Structure 1
């Protein structure tokens, strides 16, 4: 048997025992070292995630080590550090046929529609396993959430020298920030948390705006000489920021939504036409985004220390979730250490 974190029902999380899985043909057993808490885990804990059913083992931000190989698996070695692509697509729907599996109509993500990785060992097909050498083991758990931000930047077609406003400095927003900086763009980061804005500045934001005390629209216009930003990436998923993105973007600019609001949003649609803007959605990430993030984190090994707020052992995972629920602005990233004795 093995230990696992379980969302028993909204507002209740516990540590349970599950049978140890064994790899079948074409599968890989991966021992979990670290697993990050995602914003979707928090909404699931709060009972606000319409895609999750209970009970559910959360976790899809994964750092692990190859523990066993099923028959027919080659190219991996026992003890090799890996992360996992946690999305399971159908290979049959229109998005899959277009070669965009991240937008699969029937997608199942670990920790959401299927059991997650916040447990001792998971078994997945070899195609989902991504070897990662030359990085701190903890930081492998940052690859997936940062990749979601990188994918949003890719969807924006951001170019060097352009200005991008990133609304929200959680890990997804910070991923968008890093992806934009990597493209030599100018980033204006916006958040309600002064602590998160400090992290954004340390990671390369040219300017930061504290939405709790500043007029965001006025400040963006000031910083862009009255034009607005060529790109706005919404990484909050709130009614106000969904509408705000339309106000902040320049004429002929691009708005990318990577967060999603829980309620229907009412827009003054004339701005869509008057600005002739592009509005794009961004969902999850692809293997190319994972590879880009891995390359970035290898070049910037200090980034993980700036992003990770707390590392807790699995026995404290429930308490950490409860603390995050009470003070969501107080944490950028909580990482759960699954294996005892790992570096923090």
Structure 2
């Protein structure tokens, strides 16, 4: 079968691989669309410490069931449209024992620690397959990336009385914008790209700030009557936005960090302690986040195509990845159509 492989940093190839073997509890999926994720870009750039080369990337999946193993429940039938929860969990570590499976100590994500879905077929355990035929093939590929932002808002305990600032309006930040608005919060979207800020408005952001052209502190001061936002979501993975989240969040505020910064980030502890901040990480997503995103996509009137920068064939994927690496700030989502 045809697959996309990141052979070495900066090198993407179309390769031939053997068809997956399915176990008794597995489902063989025929891939329709797979999204390139920021982790895939990091792999391409040689900056992902969890990856060994060569690696088939991809964990944002739209597929149909091709075949099922003998122990798969009868509800899984050939031709059903599905997406996939791409994470593993051991069930025994301290996180799993708290049912926080998203933060499993031994998690292996498709396309990162193990071979991903950028191929014509993939086999996965039936427990990781989500059937949702009410969603289109394109919508199914957007479920997983949106769940990550949904999960961050859940971690931040956002309610309808909160003002939430979201740093970074890519796919992860977009998910956070949507979830915060569904919770009834006032949302401030911050980015340095006006196209992304326009999309943030379409997704429901009440205010947008281009922190390259506008004074971030003054804008937030005016919007929040000098208090600062109650919740800050760091979805950019930049040392500047990590510091801004601490600086700008309100006293007794909450800071949720999703992005991986490429370098170490130093903080002065004064504001951390003085504001009595809750600062937490946010990783992957839980089953409830997948359910919430699917419900949103089924009922929303938003055209999900605003989230997709381009759709390419497998043959065009190497060039698409190269172009993305040269100007990452301009891309929301690249889908590969098999």
Equivalent runs, 1:253-268 vs 2, <5 Å: 253-268=253-268
> Aligned partners of 1:94, 1:302: CA distance in 2, in Å?
39
Shift of the alpha carbon at 1:22? Answer: 2.8
The aligned residue for residue 95 of structure 2 is 95
The aligned residue for residue 307 of structure 2 is 307
Q: Could you give the per-residue CA deviations for residues 173-218 of structure 1, whole angstroms, max 9, x where no partner exists?
A: 0000001011111110000111111100111100100111111122
Equivalent runs, 1:1-344 vs 2, <5 Å: 2-74=1-73, 75-338=75-338
Q: Could you give the per-residue CA deviations for residues 211-266 of structure 1, whole angstroms, max 9, x where no partner exists?
A: 11111122111110000000000001111111110011001110000112132211
Shift of the alpha carbon at 1:27? Answer: 0.6
Q: Give the SS at the match of 1:109.
A: coil
**Contact 2:33 2:141 (C-alpha < 8 Å) held by counterparts:** yes
> Aligned partners of 1:137, 1:302: CA distance in 2, in Å?
16
Q: Give the SS at the match of 1:65.
A: strand
Q: Give the SS at the match of 1:33.
A: strand
Where do 5+ consecutive residues of structure 1 fail to align? Answer: 339-344
Calculate the TM-score normalised by the size of structure 1: 0.96
> Aligned partners of 1:170, 1:48: CA distance in 2, in Å?
19
**Contact 2:203 2:302 (C-alpha < 8 Å) held by counterparts:** no
**Contact 1:203 1:303 (C-alpha < 8 Å) held by counterparts:** no
Count of paired positions: 337
The aligned residue for residue 342 of structure 1 is none
Calculate the TM-score normalised by the size of structure 2: 0.98
Q: Point out 4+ residue stretches in structure 1 off by more than 3 angstroms.
A: none
Q: How well do the aligned residues superpose, as a CA RMSD in angstroms? A: 0.9
> Aligned partners of 1:319, 1:325: CA distance in 2, in Å?
10
Q: Give the SS at the match of 2:250.
A: strand
> Aligned partners of 2:82, 2:268: CA distance in 1, in Å?
46
Q: Give the SS at the match of 2:169.
A: coil
> Aligned partners of 2:265, 2:99: CA distance in 1, in Å?
30
Shift of the alpha carbon at 1:280? Answer: 1.0
Shift of the alpha carbon at 1:120? Answer: 0.5
> Aligned partners of 2:105, 2:36: CA distance in 1, in Å?
24
> Aligned partners of 2:262, 2:168: CA distance in 1, in Å?
16
> Aligned partners of 2:48, 2:301: CA distance in 1, in Å?
33
Where do 5+ consecutive residues of structure 2 fail to align? Answer: none
